Amino acid sequence: MVKLRLTKTVNEKLNSILKNYRSELPSELLIRLQPQDLDTPSSDIEGFHWIHHSTLADLISLIRVCDRKAGRQCQWSLAELLKGVDIYTCPKPIRHGSIELEKILSNIKLNQEKDEYERMISTSSSRPFLKDQFLNEKEKQEWNYISRSITLLINSAFSIIGLMISIYWLGYVNYGWSIEKTLVGCLFGALGLGGVELILCWNYL
């Protein structure tokens, strides 16, 4: 049989019908519509949370018989009574886990906590090593910076000295410049090359 959920709308309609027809309906049907003498409403008993479709059909049939005998016009129909009704589904039973399953889950949780604790300990113990490694890397970077700086200074010095020798050789020896003119040429050449080397070193470092 199809079970229908007793909504607020359906309950109001049933209460209105029972108010007018209670004395004319059989007790068996009244018990199905409004069960009595129960301390706690049960989802297994008709009349609390749900009602059979056949019960509503029987109710409408009896109401029509009563109205016909009394010469009244029946104001209710099954379609009118079923407005606002939906199918009732029984609530799923609550499943309680077995003791063995609870023990297994408890052991899994305990092992996870142990693994997390050991991971925390291993992380904290490795921090000094990481700190030393960080210091070593920092010292290595500083040493590389110093080495590059010294190398660039030496290369710049050799370049300037080489340029000065070239100017002296070309000007004083080949072209017969005076010693003063040769020294001035060497000075300006050294300053120019030194400026270029300084810009290159600045961009490189």
Q: Is the pTM of this model over 0.85?
A: no
* Residue 38 pLDDT: 41
Structure tokens at 176: 């017969």
H helices of the chain, where?
8-21, 27-33, 53-70, 78-81, 99-125, 127-168, 179-204
- How many domains does one find in the chain? 2
Assess if residue 55 is contained within a domain.
Answer: yes
Region 133-138: mean pLDDT is 64
Q: Which of 81, 107, 131 is the last residue of a domain?
A: 81
For 177, residues 6+ apart whose C-beta sits below 8 A from its C-beta are 171, 185
Report how far residue 103's alpha carbon sits from residue 148's, in angstroms, rounded to the nearest whole number: 65
**160 band by pLDDT with thresholds 50, 70 and 90:** confident
Q: Which of 55-69, 76-90, 178-192 has the highest mean pLDDT?
A: 178-192
Identify the domain boundary among 31, 56, 81: 81
pLDDT value at residue 93: 60
Residue 174, domain extent: 148-204
Most confident of 54-63, 74-83, 176-185: 176-185
109-118: average pLDDT:
77
Mean pLDDT, residues 144-151 = 81
Contacts of 112-117 spanning 24+ positions with Cβ under 8 A: none
Q: Determine which of 68-72, 152-156, 188-192, 199-203 has the lowest per-residue pLDDT on average.
A: 199-203
Nearest Cα to Cα of residue 2 among 126, 73, 86:
86
pLDDT tens, position by position, 23-40: 777 777 777 776 544 444
Judged on CB neighbours under 10 Å (0-12, 13-18, 19+), 100 is: exposed
What's residue 40's pLDDT?
46
Classified as helix, coil or strand, 48 is coil
Q: What is the pLDDT of residue 37?
A: 43
Residue 51: inside a domain, yes or no? yes
- Section 146-152 average pLDDT: 82
CB atoms within 10 A of CB 200: 13
Find out whether 41 and 53 touch, Cβ atoms under 8 Å: no
- Domain-located, residue 112: no
Residue 103, domain member (yes or no): no
